Amino acid sequence: MTPGARLQTAIELLAEIGEGHGAADDVVGGFFRRHRFVGAKDRAAISEHIYSILRHRASIDWWIRRVNGNQQPDARQRLFATLIMIEGWEPETVAKACDGDRFRPNPLGILEQQVVKGLKGRSLNHPEMPRPVRLNYPDWLDPHWEGLFGDRVDAEMAVMTETAPLDLRVNRLKGNRLDARSALSDEGVEALPTPLSPTGLRVYKRIPLATLDVFKSGRIEVQDEGSQIAALLALAKPGMRVVDFCAGAGGKTLALAAGMQNKGHLVACDISAPRLERAVVRLRRAGVSNVERKPLTSERDKWVKRHAESFDRVFVDAPCTGTGTWRRNPDAKWRLRPLDLEELSVLQASILDSAARLVKPGGRLIYATCSMLPAENDGQIVNFLGSHPAFDLVPMAGVWKDAIGTPCPVETDTLQLTPARHGTDGFFVAVMERRVPDPVVAEEEAAADETAEVLSPEAADAAVVEAA
């Protein structure tokens, strides 16, 4: 492809993303699957154009408005501004690539010429930019980040505009980390052990993962280190009965199954049957054989009531805003609205309340999100424990020691990982345990219930009066 053809493709895909035709990964990936003739260098260039804009859209728009008379930027203006300010193109090079020939963008209009010439030599940041613009997130989230990070907002949110590395989870059903790393090396891929997860490997360059034998044989899976840790903290052991309540396409199901060594019973639940079906290929490739897939009509499905208090572990990877994944999904931040947070918070509470019914006495409920917003994380746990006195929060230091065996990276009783502090996606985990009833209290309550059953209504009334 010519440079101009790459630009035209990027403009069209940006327009699709902006019109809400799908997440950026789906739109861009779908285009490449339909156009397999597009070479690797072309794909990389097109992706760089698109994701540079998505990562820095607020700053780019601020500059465009500054030079175009405050008009609403479109996909073309955003791309041209990105070429000049981020990728270092010259105005003449941009104009040359946009000559209107076949597959190339139409020539620059007056406003576009104004943008290209006006932004030459400018750096992306400007002292007059408000913090949300400079750090590229929706301004309505600023109070949330201020409350969570305090004077660390700049440091935390600046990292969110960077590109995340590729994290891989070693499948313990088929080998160990040393062997997997060696196999990757044999195929020309340098991978480093992840600092926190004992099952993780990290790659800092693009690789043709699906073509690698080590991947096709099921020895590794793509999974962020934070997500790996969440699954490890469930402490799902061989022989247990475990539920992955919001299993989706099965990433954490695979990790839980590996911890169980394929022994015991693992139920993968989701309200989307197609998502569960897509997990089948991954389960087979990983050699997982102890998973039952269970589609649910909703979080209040009757199946939950029928299996009340019968599982050792119930893992809830709740639907969330995904604010912790902005390095990987930068377009998600621009789709997020305050109403989304409100609606998701209600849904998370309902899911947590229903899933808790499955936990047997002495069993554990693990709540996780890929969010960094307190309303979805610690706020949910405080509310849950306030309305579910049978559950206690298990301090994270002890859970981490049992599951990981290294010093816990946080001092709080719940776990909040962030890209700036821990190098993972933003991930939250809380572990709660259903209290085992005191046998004496349980016996007294049972006796009281039995007495109440045998008393006539008149006798019961008399007993109430006497007690008063």
Place of tokens 């693009």: 206
Task: Report yes or no on 9 lying in a domain.
Answer: yes
Burial 399-429 (b: 16+ CB within 10 A, else e): bbeebbeeebbeeebbbbbbbbbbbbbbbbb
pLDDT tens digits, 84-106: 999 999 999 999 999 998 889 99
Task: Calculate Rg over the CA atoms of the chain.
Answer: 26
- Angle, helices 75-85 vs 57-68, to 10°: value is 100
Task: Report yes or no on 47 lying in a domain.
Answer: yes
How many helices (DSSP H) and strands (DSSP E) are in the chain?
Answer: 23, 12
Q: Which domain holds residue 332?
A: 225-436
pLDDT tens digits, 327-366: 999 999 999 999 999 999 999 999 999 999 999 999 999 9
Q: Are residues 123 and 243 in the same domain?
A: no
Q: Are residues 239 and 103 in the same domain?
A: no
Residue ending a domain, among 88, 105, 129, is 129
As a whole number of angstroms, the distance between CA 31 and CA 28 comes to: 5
Q: Are residues 122 and 234 in the same domain?
A: no
> Region 247-252: what's the mean pLDDT?
91
Q: Are residues 257 and 393 in the same domain?
A: yes
Mean predicted lDDT score pLDDT of the chain: 93
Task: Report yes or no on 165 lying in a domain.
Answer: no
As a whole number of angstroms, the distance between CA 235 and CA 309 comes to: 18
Task: Report yes or no on 147 lying in a domain.
Answer: no
Q: Are residues 237 and 124 in the same domain?
A: no
Task: Report yes or no on 220 lying in a domain.
Answer: no
The β-bridge relationship of strands 359-369 and 391-393 is unpaired
Task: Report yes or no on 458 lying in a domain.
Answer: no
Q: Specify which residues 221 forms β-bridges with.
A: 169
The CATH number assigned to the domain holding 118 equals: 1.10.940
The β-bridge relationship of strands 391-393 and 291-295 is unpaired
pLDDT tens digits, 34-64: 998 899 899 999 999 999 999 999 999 999 9
The CATH number assigned to the domain holding 351 equals: 3.40.50.150
Task: Report yes or no on 289 lying in a domain.
Answer: yes
Beta carbons of 15 and 49 less than 8 angstroms apart: no
Question: How many domains does the chain contain in total?
Answer: 2
Task: Using CB atoms within 10 Å of the CB of residue 297, give its burial: 0 to 12 exposed, 13 to 18 middle, 19+ buried.
Answer: exposed
pLDDT tens digits, 122-148: 999 999 999 999 999 999 999 999 999
Q: Are residues 125 and 248 in the same domain?
A: no
Q: pTM of the full predicted structure?
A: 0.90
Per-residue tokens: 254 = 């695979």
pLDDT tens digits, 223-233: 999 999 999 99
pLDDT of residue 451 exceeding 60, the answer is no
Q: Are residues 242 and 122 in the same domain?
A: no
The β-bridge relationship of strands 359-369 and 291-295 is unpaired
Task: Report yes or no on 195 lying in a domain.
Answer: no
Q: Which element (helix H / strand E) includes 367? A: strand 359-369
Residue ending a domain, among 67, 98, 129, is 129
As a whole number of angstroms, the distance between CA 428 and CA 368 comes to: 5
